[in-house]
Amino acid sequence: MQALIFAAGKGERMRPLTDHTPKPLLQVNGRALIDYHLEKLAEAGFTRVLINLAYLADTIEQHCGTGSRYGLHIDYSHEGPEPFETGGAIHHALPWFQDKAFAAISADVFTDLPFAQLTQALTAFTQSDALAHLWLVNNPAHHPAGDFHLQHTLLDRSHQPRLTYSGISLLKPQLVERFPDRRERFPLRDALFWAMQHQRLTGQHWPGMWSDVGTPERLARCQTLHTGANH
């Protein structure tokens, strides 16, 4: 099983913390954010991980190395000084996925979601017509309107209530390959909306702990959260 971790962003809203440290290496309870994800992926049975890099790329690569200390094989997708955004990152790395479904995780989220859920959902997702399967969480205070309405497993934006996309998903390379507006740099959100319009976007709800580590204040709050994020 394979996974992509989005780790190329500049973390502008986190400055000055990210002036010399990329956001995936910011620490919660003494451990880098990206370490939580890598350890949980290994525990859930994933073996291959691709990390996309742009801002302070060498720092992340030096920290994660080959992946052996996590029980993983890690490859890197270098995007140069300006990141390709999430959709562009997948497009840039399409050959790596070998036309197989993969987990996609934003490095800057902190959650107790067990990644065994990704493993458990992978077979059914692979056999389905869906192009993406998202984990949704309760709306945080900074995003009260949410992103998607969940009806059974199908997602849309035309009904209420909405839940927030967690930044954790299962994706098929065809999501980007078939997206008619793909380009060098574009957000994955555009392709997800396209899949939704064709009723090929599914998801499920995780009611547990989750935080988008988007500001220094949210990072500080994460230090106080009790988490099973390493289990």
Q: Tell me the per-residue pLDDT of 168-202, one tens digit each, with 9 for 90 and over.
A: 999 999 999 999 999 999 999 999 999 999 999 99
Strand partners, 210: 111
Quickly state the pLDDT bin for 226 (edges 50, 70, 90).
Answer: low
Tokens of 19: 């002036």
- With respect to residue 142, please indicate whether it lies within any of the assigned structural domains: yes
Count how many domains the chain has: 1
| Confidence check: pLDDT of 229 > 70 | no
Buried b (16+ CB within 10 A) or exposed e, 12-34: eebeeebeebbbbbbebeeebbb
> What is the arithmetic mean of pLDDT over 25-36?
93
Q: What is the mean pLDDT of the chain?
A: 93
Tokens of 31: 């451990």
Buried b (16+ CB within 10 A) or exposed e, 190-212: bbbebbbeeebbbbeebeebbbb
pLDDT tens column, 52-84: 999 999 999 999 999 999 999 999 999 998 999
- With respect to residue 231, please indicate whether it lies within any of the assigned structural domains: no
* pTM of the full structure: 0.93
- With respect to residue 92, please indicate whether it lies within any of the assigned structural domains: yes
Are 9 and 83 a contacting pair, CB within 8 Å?
yes
Of the given ranges (3-7, 50-54, 214-218, 226-230), which has the lowest mean pLDDT?
A: 226-230
For residue 198, give the CATH number of its domain.
Answer: 3.90.550.10
> What is the arithmetic mean of pLDDT over 127-141?
97
Say how many C-beta atoms besides its own lie within 10 A of residue 127's C-beta.
9
d(CA 27, CA 219): 8
| Confidence check: pLDDT of 102 > 90 | yes
- With respect to residue 227, please indicate whether it lies within any of the assigned structural domains: no
- With respect to residue 228, please indicate whether it lies within any of the assigned structural domains: no
Of the candidates 183, 170, 178, 182, the residue with the CA atom closest to the CA atom of residue 198: 178
- With respect to residue 110, please indicate whether it lies within any of the assigned structural domains: yes
| Confidence check: pLDDT of 14 > 80 | no
Q: Is the dihedral of CA 17, 111, 90, 66 positive or negative?
A: positive
- With respect to residue 230, please indicate whether it lies within any of the assigned structural domains: no
- In the Cβ-directed half-sphere of 43, how many Cα atoms lie within 13 Å? 15
- With respect to residue 198, please indicate whether it lies within any of the assigned structural domains: yes
pLDDT tens column, 34-57: 999 999 999 999 999 999 999 999
Q: Which domain holds residue 66?
A: 2-222
